[in-house]
Amino acid sequence: MKVAIIGAGNIGGAIAKGLIKSQKVSASDITCTTLTQETLDRLKAANAEINTTLNNVEAVKDADIIMIAVKPWHVEKVIDQIRDKVNYEKQIIVSIAAGVTFDLLNAYLTKDTDTHNDHVAPTIFRVIPNTAIEVLSSMTFVAAYNASQEQKDLILDMFNALGCSMLIEERLMPAGTALASSGIAYALRYIRASIEGGVELGFYPKQAQEIVVHTVKGAVDLLLANLSSPEVEIDKVTTPGGITIRGLNEMEVSGFTSSVIRGLKTGK
């Protein structure tokens, strides 16, 4: 399977490295493009077998999957460049550009359609990962347009190798972005606040960070291993009259849960 990644910057480059690390795709079967040779040189330095080019048309020529990972306002320009070279019967388009809908993508792809794509609708996926994709821990949302079950399974399997992927309806993409993509920042903000609290309690900053990071990791591992809910795990550490329940209640008085929910809804 050959993959072309147009716009292999932060996210696109992380996808390329993750696919290689997960052994889902060999480096020699990945072709990356960027706007600058400097970025391509960094990719080559990470893995000399990755194919790199500044030419988007050249990149998509033999690809089975074409990933468009450029900024949303560059998507139409990129598609205009490659459209006549894409074979909709054989190639899958995967857009990593937030906010660019299937209606827009389909309009860009079918504008001035040439003869080899006449009467053939493109297979398109919208994919929204988060920055943890670089350590194979992304929560990635996938929506499909004109895709077979086999094609859906292929894309989900690819992104499951980079963390966890979930097939959702396109209408849920903004909510997924708020919950998982922006959600990384929200989780890190809690971690930062806890580290600051740890320093106030008497720990050195590096000690506080180590404690908080491993505590959060432990909480996540409990939920994943036990397939339980947060409340079940919270109940295990809250004793009547204890410091845990007092701390939780004080956080709620300060609006902890409602603040998180308001932040998520603002992001959506």
CB atoms inside a 10 Å sphere around CB 96: 24
Q: Does the pLDDT of residue 118 top 90, yes or no?
A: no
Q: What is the per-residue pLDDT for 210?
A: 97
Q: What is the mean pLDDT of residues 19-46?
A: 90
Which range marks the domain in which residue 212 is found? 177-267
Q: Does the pLDDT of residue 229 top 60, yes or no?
A: yes
Instruction: Give the pLDDT band of residue 122 (cuts 50, 70, 90).
Output: very high
Whether 154 and 189 map to the same domain: the answer is no
Whether 114 and 81 map to the same domain: the answer is yes
Whether 109 and 228 map to the same domain: the answer is no
> Angle between the 182-200 and 205-226 helix axes, to the nearest 10 degrees?
130
Whether 182 and 159 map to the same domain: the answer is no
Q: What is the per-residue pLDDT for 15?
A: 92
Q: What is the mean pLDDT of residues 185-213?
A: 96
Q: What is the rounded CA–CA span in Å between residue 14 and residue 8?
A: 8
H helical segments located in 35-74: 37-46, 56-60
Whether 105 and 125 map to the same domain: the answer is yes
Whether 150 and 24 map to the same domain: the answer is yes
Q: What is the mean pLDDT of residues 114-125?
A: 78
What is the average pLDDT score of the chain?
92
Inter-residue long-range contacts of 73-82, CB under 8 Å, 24+ positions, other chains counted = 74/7, 75/100, 75/104, 75/105, 75/108, 76/104, 76/108, 78/6, 78/7, 79/105, 79/108, 79/109, 80/108, 80/111, 81/56, 81/57, 82/6, 82/56, 82/57
Whether 51 and 73 map to the same domain: the answer is yes
Q: What is the per-residue pLDDT for 115?
A: 54
Q: What is the per-residue pLDDT for 134?
A: 80
Strand partners, 138: 163
Question: What are the φ and ψ backbone dihedral angles of 95, each rounded to 5 degrees?
Answer: -100, 130
Look at residues 146, 168, 190 and tell me which one is the last residue of a structural domain. Answer: 168
Q: What is the per-residue pLDDT for 22?
A: 86
Whether 188 and 94 map to the same domain: the answer is no
Q: What is the rounded CA–CA span in Å between residue 154 and residue 142?
A: 11
Whether 51 and 74 map to the same domain: the answer is yes
Instruction: Give the pLDDT band of residue 211 (cuts 50, 70, 90).
Output: very high
Summarised one tens digit per residue, pLDDT across range 63-74 is: 999 999 999 999
Summarised one tens digit per residue, pLDDT across range 233-248 is: 999 999 999 999 999 9
Q: What is the per-residue pLDDT for 175?
A: 92
Whether 196 and 144 map to the same domain: the answer is no
Strand partners, 145: 124
Q: What is the rounded CA–CA span in Å between residue 136 and residue 182?
A: 17
Q: What is the per-residue pLDDT for 112?
A: 73
Summarised one tens digit per residue, pLDDT across range 73-101 is: 999 999 999 998 999 999 999 999 989 99
Q: Are 29 and 1 in contact (CB under 8 A)?
A: yes
Q: What is the mean pLDDT of residues 166-190?
A: 93
Whether 24 and 135 map to the same domain: the answer is yes
The CATH code of the domain that includes 183 is: 1.10.3730.10
Whether 185 and 144 map to the same domain: the answer is no
The C-alpha angle 208, 209, 214, rounded to 5 degrees, equals 105
